[in-house]
C-alpha cells in the first residue's frame, strides 16, 4: 500500500512540470494565432483597397498615355535620321512615398544605377518619392540635385506633373534632355522599369524639323515645357498603376501566407491540446490505480 502511494506521488511530481510546459506552449500558440489572424484581416482589407485603387489608376493611366504619346510623336517627326542624341542628360526617377508594394521602388532604383554606369556617371539626378530617394541617396549622393515628395498621393494629376516640370526648369540645372525612369505597366500582375527621353529647348531648336520654320523663342520654350509636363504626367500615372497592381499582388501573397501559417499553427495547437488532455487522463488513471 505504501509502495503504491509513493509511486503515485512520484508520478504526479514528474507530470506536473510537463503539464505546465504544455499549458505555456498552448498559450503561446493561442497568442500567435490571434496575431496572425489579425494580420490576415489587415492584408485582406489592404488587398481590397488596392484592387479598387487599381481600377481607378488604370483609367488615369490610359488618359496619361495619350499625353505622353502625343509629345513623343512631335519630337520624333521633327527629328531627322542621323541627328546626334542629346549630350547632357538629367535623370528623373519616378517612385512614391508609400511602401508595401513589392519591388516597385527597387526596380527603378536599379535601372537608374545601370543607366548612370553605362552613361555619364556625373549626370544630375532628381527623384520623385521618398522610397527611391532612400535607396539612391548613397549611390548618387553627389549627383542628387532635387527631390520631391507627396506627389500623386492619390491618382496623379496634370497639375502634379506641371509642378514637377516647373521646379525642374527653375532648378538651374543644365541639361539637353530629361530621361524619365519609371515603371511601365505591363499587366495586372507584371511591370518593368523603363525610361523615356524628353528633349529640352536647345535640342528642339537644333532639330531639322524645327529649323525649317521661323519660330519665336517663346514658342519653342513653351513647347519644350509642355512636352516635359506631358511626359512626366504619363510616367506618373503609369508608375502609379504599376504600384497599385504590385501592392494588390503583395497583399494577396501576404494573405495566402498568413492563411498557411494559421493552418500550421492550428495543427500545432490541436496536437498540443490533445497531448495535454492525454497527460491529464494518464494522471487520473495513475492516481485511480494507486488507490
CATH assignment of the domain containing 25: 1.10.287.80
Nearest to 74 by CA among 217, 166, 195, 207: 207
Residues 111 and 26 in one domain: no
Please report the pLDDT score of residue 278 as a whole number. 86
Residues 224 and 257 in one domain: no
**Other CB atoms within 10 Å distance of the CB of residue 27:** 10
Please report the pLDDT score of residue 263 as a whole number. 95
Host domain of residue 231: 63-249
Is 42 domain-assigned?
yes
Instruction: Evaluate whether 11 touches 284 at the Cβ level (below 8 Å).
Output: no
Please report the pLDDT score of residue 24 as a whole number. 62
- Residue 246 grid coordinates: 504590385
This prediction has a pTM of 0.82
pLDDT 10s digits, 94-147: 999 999 999 999 999 999 999 999 988 889 999 999 999 999 998 888 899 999
Helices (H), strands (E): how many in the chain? 7, 5
Is 264 domain-assigned?
yes
- What is the DSSP secondary-structure string of 201-244? HHHHHHSHHHHTS---HHHHHHHHHHHHHHHHHHHHHHHHHHHH
Angle between helices 158-170 and 217-290 (to 10 degrees): 120
**How many Å is the Cα radius of gyration of the chain?**
31
Please report the pLDDT score of residue 151 as a whole number. 85
Residues 22 and 158 in one domain: no
Report how far apart, in Å, the C-alpha atoms of 190 and of each of 172, 249, 255 are: 37, 9, 19
Is 136 domain-assigned?
yes
The residue ranges of the chain whose pLDDT is under 50 are 1-16, 80-81
* Angle 82-87-93 from CA coordinates, rounded to 5°: 115
Is 151 domain-assigned?
yes
Percentage of the chain with pLDDT > 90? Answer: 54
Residues 142 and 158 in one domain: yes
Number of domains in the chain: 2
Residues 206 and 239 in one domain: yes
Please report the pLDDT score of residue 219 as a whole number. 78
Please report the pLDDT score of residue 279 as a whole number. 83
pLDDT 10s digits, 63-105: 888 777 776 776 666 554 455 666 789 999 999 999 999 999 9
Is 96 domain-assigned?
yes
Is 280 domain-assigned?
yes
Is 52 domain-assigned?
no
> Strands, DSSP E only, in the chain?
89-94, 125-128, 144-148, 177-187, 190-199
- Tell me which of 234, 249, 264 is where a domain ends: 249
Is 8 domain-assigned?
yes
Nearest to 140 by CA among 170, 110, 164, 183: 110
Please report the pLDDT score of residue 11 as a whole number. 44
Please report the pLDDT score of residue 203 as a whole number. 75
Residues 177 and 271 in one domain: no
Residues 222 and 275 in one domain: no
Amino acid at each position: 500500500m505504501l509502495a503504491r502511494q509513493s509511486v503515485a506521488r512520484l508520478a504526479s511530481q514528474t507530470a506536473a512540470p510537463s503539464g505546465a510546459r504544455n499549458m505555456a506552449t498552448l498559450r503561446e500558440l493561442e497568442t500567435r494565432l490571434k496575431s496572425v489572424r489579425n494580420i490576415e484581416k489587415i492584408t485582406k482589407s489592404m488587398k481590397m483597397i488596392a484592387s479598387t485603387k487599381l481600377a481607378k489608376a488604370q483609367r488615369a493611366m490610359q488618359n496619361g498615355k495619350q499625353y505622353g504619346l502625343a509629345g513623343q510623336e512631335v519630337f520624333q517627326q521633327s527629328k531627322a535620321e542621323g541627328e546626334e542624341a542629346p549630350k547632357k542628360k538629367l535623370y528623373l526617377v519616378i517612385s512614391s512615398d508609400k511602401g508595401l508594394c513589392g519591388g516597385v521602388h527597387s526596380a527603378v532604383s536599379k535601372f537608374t544605377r545601370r543607366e548612370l554606369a553605362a552613361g555619364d556617371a556625373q549626370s544630375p539626378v532628381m527623384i520623385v518619392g521618398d522610397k527611391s530617394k532612400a535607396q539612391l541617396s548613397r549611390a548618387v549622393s553627389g549627383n542628387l540635385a532635387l527631390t520631391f515628395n507627396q506627389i500623386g498621393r492619390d491618382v496623379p494629376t496634370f497639375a502634379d506633373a506641371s509642378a514637377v516640370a516647373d521646379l525642374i526648369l527653375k532648378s538651374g540645372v543644365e541639361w539637353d534632355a530629361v530621361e524619365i525612369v519609371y515603371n511601365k505597366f505591363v499587366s495586372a500582375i507584371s511591370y518593368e522599369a523603363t525610361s523615356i527621353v524628353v528633349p529640352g529647348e536647345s535640342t528642339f531648336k537644333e532639330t531639322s524639323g524645327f529649323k525649317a520654320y521661323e519660330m519665336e523663342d517663346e514658342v519653342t520654350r513653351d513647347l519644350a515645357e509642355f512636352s516635359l509636363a506631358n511626359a512626366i504626367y504619363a510616367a506618373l500615372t503609369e508608375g502609379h498603376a504599376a504600384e497599385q497592381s504590385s501592392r494588390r499582388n503583395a497583399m494577396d501573397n501576404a494573405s495566402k501566407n498568413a492563411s498557411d501559417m494559421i493552418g500550421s499553427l492550428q495543427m500545432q495547437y490541436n496536437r498540443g491540446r490533445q497531448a495535454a488532455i492525454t497527460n491529464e487522463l494518464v494522471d487520473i488513471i495513475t492516481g485511480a490505480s494507486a488507490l
